[in-house]
Amino acid sequence: MEKAQALIARYPQSRSALLPMLHLVQSVQGYVSQEGIGFCARQLDLSEAEVSAVATFYTMYKRRPCGEHLVSVCTNTLCAALGGDAVYARLSEHLGVGHEETAGEPGQPGSITLEHAECLAACDLAPVLQVNYEFYDKQTPESAVELVDSLRRGEKPAPSRGAPLTDFKGAELQLAGFFPDDEETFTAQVDGPSQAVETLRGAALAQERGWTAPVMQDAPLPEVGAK
């Protein structure tokens, strides 16, 4: 309740707090329950139908209890072509679950929810998967199985880049916008290298060769309503 009030206070209009509020609900319950929808509606002076419309539109809001960890395998075009489909198929077989299903008791240690993901904006490191939205680059079916097995043993292997791994509820608290106050814990919890050499290769090459982008020409903006 205290956190919900803190979220609402961040916005001039309470309804603007809905997205982080839904993440806050997931940080407590591991999904957006009907009770969570009612809570958001009451706090933000919205109808339950309005809250449901938002919660069912975005795939990051889960309508069924999630595992301790959420494993999202990119099966969009580039990752799929480079092995993402094989990674997903092997994980699905290994865990004995399909899309948005959980191996183990949801919320309990070692439980894993598997899902297909659309492009995760890391095509240069394909095929990729995420655990609780942290990246594990250049996966193979074997490395992915090794990764989920270590999660099931309670380990938290370091992501390829980005913040250290937490669990689904911990990641949801961060997505709601709550971080430790003291700088040292904050840094330990969220800091990490975010760039990959592959991602910067084009910029590095351009710098090396003195290439620059052409200057943008000023063009008049089209009039609003013009055809």
Q: How far is the CB of 188 from ligand FES (least distance, A)?
A: 28
Give per-residue burial for 126-162: e unless 16+ CB within 10 Å, then b: bbbbbbbbbbbbbbebeebbebbeebbeeeeeebbbb
Taken in order 126, 172, 32, 131, the sign of the CA dihedral is positive
Binding residue for ligand FES, selected from 25, 66, 122, 131, defined by CB under 6 A: 122
Report whether 79 belongs to an annotated binding site.
yes
From residue 123 to residue 142, what is the string marking binding to ligand FES with x (rule CB under 6 A)?
A: x--x-x--------------
Q: Shortest gap between Cβ of 75 and ligand FES (angstroms)? A: 8
Q: Does 120 bind ligand FES (CB under 6 A)?
A: yes
Q: Does 74 engage in binding with ligand FES (CB under 6 A)?
A: yes
Q: How far apart are CB 52 and ligand FES at their closest, in Å?
A: 30
- Torsion region of 129: left, alpha or beta (phi above 0 gives left; psi -120 to 50 gives alpha): beta
Sign of the dihedral through C-alpha 138, 142, 148, 150: negative
Q: Does 28 bind ligand FES (CB under 6 A)?
A: no
Using CB under 6 A, which of 19, 28, 41, 78 touches ligand FES?
78
Nearer Cβ to ligand FES (106/159): 159
Q: Residue 40 annotated as binding?
A: no
> Which residues make beta-bridge pairs with 101?
114
Rounded Cα distance, 131 and 23, in Å: 16
Question: With CB under 6 A as the contact rule, which of the stretches 50-58, 77-85, 149-157, 167-175 interacts with ligand FES?
Answer: 77-85
Residue 16 is given by DSSP the state G
Residue 198 CA, chain-centre distance (Å), reads 21
Distance, in Å, from the CA atom of 194 to the CA atom of 83, rounded to the nearest integer, reads 23
Where on the chain is the footprint of ligand FES (CB under 6 A)?
74, 76-79, 119-123, 126, 128
